[in-house]
Amino acid sequence: MELSHTDKNGKANMVDVGHKPNQLREAIAKGFIKLQPETVRLIRENQMKKGDVLTIAEIAGIQAAKRTPELIPLCHTLLLTKVDVRATLTDTGVEVTGYAKCIGQTGVEMEALTAVSVSLLTVYDMCKAVDKSMVIDNVRLVEKIKTNLD
Amino acid sequence: MELSHTDKNGKANMVDVGHKPNQLREAIAKGFIKLQPETVRLIRENQMKKGDVLTIAEIAGIQAAKRTPELIPLCHTLLLTKVDVRATLTDTGVEVTGYAKCIGQTGVEMEALTAVSVSLLTVYDMCKAVDKSMVIDNVRLVEKIKTNLD
Amino acid sequence: MELSHTDKNGKANMVDVGHKPNQLREAIAKGFIKLQPETVRLIRENQMKKGDVLTIAEIAGIQAAKRTPELIPLCHTLLLTKVDVRATLTDTGVEVTGYAKCIGQTGVEMEALTAVSVSLLTVYDMCKAVDKSMVIDNVRLVEKIKTNLD
Amino acid sequence: MELSHTDKNGKANMVDVGHKPNQLREAIAKGFIKLQPETVRLIRENQMKKGDVLTIAEIAGIQAAKRTPELIPLCHTLLLTKVDVRATLTDTGVEVTGYAKCIGQTGVEMEALTAVSVSLLTVYDMCKAVDKSMVIDNVRLVEKIKTNLD
Amino acid sequence: MELSHTDKNGKANMVDVGHKPNQLREAIAKGFIKLQPETVRLIRENQMKKGDVLTIAEIAGIQAAKRTPELIPLCHTLLLTKVDVRATLTDTGVEVTGYAKCIGQTGVEMEALTAVSVSLLTVYDMCKAVDKSMVIDNVRLVEKIKTNLD
Amino acid sequence: MELSHTDKNGKANMVDVGHKPNQLREAIAKGFIKLQPETVRLIRENQMKKGDVLTIAEIAGIQAAKRTPELIPLCHTLLLTKVDVRATLTDTGVEVTGYAKCIGQTGVEMEALTAVSVSLLTVYDMCKAVDKSMVIDNVRLVEKIKTNLD
């Protein structure tokens, strides 16, 4: 077994995907930011006022997905056909789910994970004045699908 | 107590920092990516070959710190005077520490946290072919310092 | 009278602001997108459902303000201390107001105008499936303030 | 009729274009910036000296078209095969025409409109020292073509 | 013979590549930065310590290749399937080789050349405190390949 | 003597400039692209038609200077107060001179060099259909000035 992004001498290596077939690629990632009860209450109140907090976090995630190849040095540019980010308030924090989809030669898990990470950082930013103990946790891939085009 | 980034109607609000004094701002953030033992072994082997994996993760973090205001919608542009990102291999994964510093009117915690998050995503990207169960965890601020200029 | 961005030979010229004093700079711009009554009705309905349309337009405007020097070739990079964008639904369309502020050596009118323009384009994007006759109009500066620092 | 970018709950929604066929997509947009007679005279003089003003506005528009998905949150990344921007001086201002073309799964009207808007903002920037009453007007789509690939 | 990027009136012109077939496109570029013997010695020492200097230069080149259409006004966005950048220390400086590959409607020489140029600038940046006479030289295309897809 | 961007273990290191005084910083860089006589003739003809080739190269250079910290991993963000790029046709090619200026805590040589490099790459791009033997040469710093503020 070998790291796909390094060659035999350990050097950086952008994986050549030129020979791979175009396939329908989908990925779902999730992550969580733990908040204090008071912070959860403030976001709930904000949502009741038709507030913007969770929407801004979702938009930040969608935009970050599109910029994944700028952020992650060895990622390929892809033509995402769909990105969806949902931020949901729970009793202990905000859970973010990110979905990315493309027809391309390599998978979209980094796009889904980047969307989730930046969305969670955006929640952090908006709550940092009131909550000094936030933690971003459990950012992981939950599903990855590859479908042949007919 | 109120969310600083929303007004009374819950609308998005970039906090006005124009009246704040220029101060020396520093922040340290940390985060972790859990890896399987085999993945840890491969990165260790890569490091022994003077490999690039951890360096690329560090560089990606430094560069991401500088682009924080592009990623986080309500963040201010700052003139960072120093960013440092260290990725350390442990027996169970990679720990990333990010440090940001500026002289400015608002803090640099989002810069440190963004550096850590993108650095961890970069490790994820380079290991995703060999490890299907990675989790990014415990991304948090560990220190924030504000010093008056003389 | 002379164009400030061209020299005597007509060549492009980024104005040197290095000798100007740091001042508090503020600017307000406005613009409008004309919509069909049915489109106005759909946005109103969206707002009643706590919908995202106007919030997304506002966020897009805030983010664009921060990227003005990337978009406008001869603009200077500035450290905006505050950006505010408000999108308001009227009976005939959406009016966007953009406010930008910085302490710096040159004015922020281009930042306010860029925020307004991109915010209006974002409304256009979200309504283009239902409205084929939208027009963006009357994008202009409404106020520009320069205040000496004490 | 429904807004295509929001779901039944009013939430932001990047339209899934993955099932659409690749087609030749073209769009033409136009817009105008009203200038004072003296400003028109100065630009005419600049053009007679082989000046740069209109060229810079055109280049800014071409570059902005390529960055549309970074600016407009719910836009898809596309591979534009051609962008053309023409800025023409009239007796009352500058008219900008933008043309965008791609082979892809969604239209290029936002790319043409973004090119026009940023090109007009660039004219604004270069004339703002001499003209305090400029207005950007009538930014709209004038043609949109979709052609099947054989 | 004519410049392909200007029309009969000398105006800027993004070449329309929409009618060209998708082909496998590859390009290799090279360039060199001349360094003083002492600087070469310091980089050699850095490499012996498993140092980062050449790796950072390589990563900067890979990332720049992906951003070529943002930097070069009339370049098209492409989906690079592979970028490789190698920085090699010689007795008189650092030689950088850049390789780019895509399946697309236009060539990738600008991507290879941009990778090489930014990689060399990154070496310059890291050595500028110790070497005041560095020169970047001989940046050129060494191979360009176009292969029909079957 | 030591490389300023690496620590004792050879690791990447963004130099801390936080303790340095704000000074007026200026830098001038130059570079050259060798062209075949026929290419020189075509650019001369383009210039006689009030053509855009050299203007586009200059604008690309100005814009690149502002994005230097995005391209060069260990560079600091600076507030450039002036950038000037001049492309001059000679009998054997195009010479580009780049000037950058800021008031800040670190020098602007990388900004001037990046402007020159990207400007030369832009000439390359526009001439590559007619000239297969272009070489970018002699990119170097020609002057660097540091002036105390009073």
Question: How deeply is D127 buried, as exposed, middle or buried, from its count of CB atoms within 10 A (0-12, 13-18, 19+)?
Answer: buried
Is the confidence at residue F142, as pLDDT, over 80?
yes
Cα angle D101, A81, A74 (rounded to 5 degrees) comes to 95
C108 touches chain B (CB under 8 A): no
DSSP percent split of chain C into helix, strand, coil, nearest 5: 35, 35, 35
Is the confidence at residue B43, as pLDDT, over 80?
yes
| Per-position pLDDT tens, chain C of length 150 | 677 777 877 787 788 998 888 999 999 999 999 999 999 999 998 887 767 899 999 999 999 999 999 999 999 999 999 999 999 999 999 999 999 999 999 999 999 999 999 999 999 999 999 999 999 999 999 999 999 987
pLDDT tens digit string along F51-88? 789 999 999 999 999 999 999 999 999 999 999 999 99
Nearest by CB: D55 against F47, F52, F63: F52
Q: Which residue(s) pair with E31 in the sheet?
A: E96
Pick among E62, E67, E82 to test the A interface (most A CBs inside 10 A): E82
DSSP labels, D26-65: EEEEEEEEE--HHHHHHHHHHHHTT-SHHHHHHHHHHHHH
- Please state, in angstroms and rounded to a whole number, the distance separating the CA atoms of residues C11 and C45: 51
Q: Cβ(D92)–Cβ(D34) under 8 Å?
A: yes
Kindly report the average pLDDT of chain A as a whole number.
Answer: 93
Residues from chain C contacting residue B77 (CB–CB below 8 Å): 66, 77-80
pLDDT tens digit string along F73-132? 999 999 999 999 999 999 999 999 999 999 999 999 999 999 999 999 999 999 999 999
Name the pLDDT band for D47 (thresholds 50, 70, 90): confident
Q: Show the tokens assigned to F53.
A: 């080739």
State the pLDDT at residue C6. Answer: 79
Pick among B47, B58, B59 to test the E interface (most E CBs inside 10 A): B59
- The length of chain C in residues reads 150
Cβ-Cβ contacts under 8 Å between E and F: the total is 176
Domain extent at residue F52: 23-148
pLDDT tens digit string along A8-30? 777 877 889 988 889 999 999 99
Residue B7 lies in a domain: no
Q: What domain count does chain C have?
A: 1
- Please state, in angstroms and rounded to a whole number, the distance separating the CA atoms of residues F81 and F65: 11
- DSSP annotation of F6: B
State the pLDDT at residue F48. Answer: 72
Is the confidence at residue A49, as pLDDT, over 80?
no
Q: Do D14 and A79 touch (CB under 8 A)?
A: no
Q: Which of E54, E134, E50 is closest to E97 using CA atoms?
A: E54
Q: Give whole-number Cα distances, F45 to D48, D96, F41, in Å.
A: 17, 26, 6
Q: Do B52 and E55 touch (CB under 8 A)?
A: yes
Residue E13 lies in a domain: no
Q: Cβ(D110)–Cβ(D75) under 8 Å?
A: yes
Residue F5 lies in a domain: no
Residue F16 lies in a domain: no
Residue C133 lies in a domain: yes
What are the counts of helices (DSSP H) followed by strands (DSSP E) for chain E?
A: 4, 4
- Please state, in angstroms and rounded to a whole number, the distance separating the CA atoms of residues E75 and D79: 11
CATH of the domain at B132: 3.30.70.640
Out of D7, D84, D91, D125, the active site residue is D125
Q: Show the tokens assigned to E1.
A: 């013979």
Q: Do B79 and F74 touch (CB under 8 A)?
A: no
Q: Show the tokens assigned to B133.
A: 């169960």
Out of E16, E84, E91, E125, the active site residue is E125
* Residues of A classed as catalytic: 125
Q: Which amino acid would we find at residue E62?
A: I
State the pLDDT at residue E1. Answer: 64
Residues from chain C contacting residue B79 (CB–CB below 8 Å): 79
Q: Do A77 and E79 touch (CB under 8 A)?
A: yes
Q: Cβ(D29)–Cβ(D139) under 8 Å?
A: yes
Name the pLDDT band for D135 (thresholds 50, 70, 90): very high
State the pLDDT at residue D3. Answer: 75
State the pLDDT at residue F8. Answer: 77
Whole-number percent of chain E with pLDDT over 90: 80
Q: Show the tokens assigned to C62.
A: 């805030």
State the pLDDT at residue A47. Answer: 82
Question: How deeply is F23 buried, as exposed, middle or buried, from its count of CB atoms within 10 A (0-12, 13-18, 19+)?
Answer: middle
- Please state, in angstroms and rounded to a whole number, the distance separating the CA atoms of residues C117 and D31: 12
H or E element in which residue C30 lies = strand C23-34
Q: Other C-beta atoms within 10 Å of D38: how many?
A: 10
Across residues B6-21, what is the average pLDDT?
84
pLDDT tens digit string along D55-75? 999 999 999 999 999 999 999
Q: Do F84 and C18 touch (CB under 8 A)?
A: no
Q: Show the tokens assigned to F145.
A: 């000035």
Q: Do F59 and E72 touch (CB under 8 A)?
A: no
State the pLDDT at residue F1. Answer: 64
Is the confidence at residue E11, as pLDDT, over 90?
no
CA distance E105 to chain D (A): 8
Residues from chain B contacting residue C58 (CB–CB below 8 Å): 11-12
Cα Rg of chain B, angstroms: 17
Q: Give whole-number Cα distances, E84 to A44, B91, E52, E77, E100, in Å.
A: 48, 31, 17, 18, 7
Residue D8 lies in a domain: no
E70 touches chain D (CB under 8 A): yes
Residue D16 lies in a domain: no
Strands A93-104 and A80-89: antiparallel
Name the pLDDT band for E9 (thresholds 50, 70, 90): confident
Q: Which residue(s) pair with A107 in the sheet?
A: none
DSSP percent split of chain E into helix, strand, coil, nearest 5: 35, 35, 35
Q: Show the tokens assigned to F147.
A: 């002036």
Rounded to the nearest angstrom, the gap between the alpha carbon of residue B81 and the centroid of all alpha carbons in its chain is 15
- Please state, in angstroms and rounded to a whole number, the distance separating the CA atoms of residues C86 and C3: 32
Question: How deeply is F89 buried, as exposed, middle or buried, from its count of CB atoms within 10 A (0-12, 13-18, 19+)?
Answer: middle
Q: Cβ(C79)–Cβ(C101) under 8 Å?
A: no
Q: Show the tokens assigned to B93.
A: 């994964």
Residue B5 lies in a domain: no
Q: Which amino acid would we find at residue A90?
A: T
Interface of E with B in 31-60 (CB under 8 A): 47, 50, 52, 55-56, 58-59
Cβ-Cβ contacts under 8 Å between B and C: the total is 44
Q: Which of C30, C42, C114, C35 is closest to C71 using CA atoms?
A: C114
Q: What residues contact C15, with CB distance under 8 A and at least 6 apart?
A: C4, C5, C74, C106, D129, F82
State the pLDDT at residue A54. Answer: 94
CA distance B102 to chain F (A): 7
Return the beta strands (E) in C36-134 as ranges: 80-89, 93-104
